[in-house]
Amino acid sequence: MTATEDANTALVIEAFDTLFNRRDYAGAAAFWSPDYIQHSATSHPGAQVCSTIVKSLPAELRYEHQLVVATAAMSLLHGRFSGPCAKPANWIVVDVVRIADGKLAEHWDVIQDEADETQSQSGLPMFGDSSPAAPPPAPPSLLLQAFVGYLRDRPTVVDTAGTRGFNDGRASLEGISSYPSSLGGVPAITLEPLIGTRSAPLSTSTAAATSSGSPPDRYLPLQAPSRSPPMPEFTPVDYRLAPETRVPRSLR
């Protein structure tokens, strides 16, 4: 690099460290031009916005750079943000900075979540010499496990009242509220979204219910996870049992 390129590289690194790591906002102001322009999908173009956004981020946020390419008027940094606000994945960033009169005058950024080795097609780290550890798998659904266990038991005697407790009280459904109701005089359970936009009400038909026992809460593990915003108000019903009750009466 030439002396100018070295100076530009050192200027950008010191500016980023002052703002993001040391949180010296007064000191950082000396590095940014009053006419600074930010090209970003997440912020307005002005210089003041840059420090305002950083002030809102957790103090544990850390910036580190790896590769730097510079010209007489531009510097390109390949870096990484880590810390609580960058979870569940660190942010890998490429910052292209135009420098004028010894200050940061214009800035383009590209941000991408850091991939672990299992997510990377190349298997190579995106930053540094190693990839981050893969996150632990999500815990299994106790409700779904209980449902599968109940079906594997293949009960020969249907006890409608007893089978309502197949999940041992673990009927909590994330993002969904439920309450007893009826549909045309048939016992049912109504599911409603806690978030998002609610659309037109729906009912459901589950063929297995008419032959394996039919309390409506038996099928919540299958029905409720498929309800995501926007979702309808959803009502599984307490079917009559076949073959004693034949279609269409079993669905009435």
pLDDT digits (tens, 9 = 90+) for 40-66: 776 666 656 566 778 878 888 899 999
pLDDT score for 128? 92
Contact 86, 95 (CB under 8 A): no
pLDDT digits (tens, 9 = 90+) for 139-188: 777 767 766 776 676 555 544 444 444 444 444 455 666 777 777 677 77
Assess whether pLDDT exceeds 70 at residue 111.
Answer: yes
Q: What is the mean pLDDT of residues 111-120?
A: 91
Q: Which two tokens stand for residue 90?
A: 């660190």
Contact 196, 216 (CB under 8 A): no
* Run of H or E residues at 15: helix 3-16
Share of the chain above pLDDT 90, in %: 28
User: What DSSP letter does each residue of 127-162 carry, written as one string?
Assistant: STTSPPPPPPPPPPPHHHHHHHHHHHH--SS--HHH
| Cα 99 to Cα 49: distance, rounded to the nearest angstrom | 18
Location of structure tokens 């659904």: 141
Location of structure tokens 């307005």: 44
φ, ψ of residue 122 in degrees (nearest 5): -85, -20
CATH architecture group of domain 3-113: Roll (3.10)
In the chain, domain spans: 3-113, 142-251
pLDDT score for 179? 73
pLDDT score for 62? 92
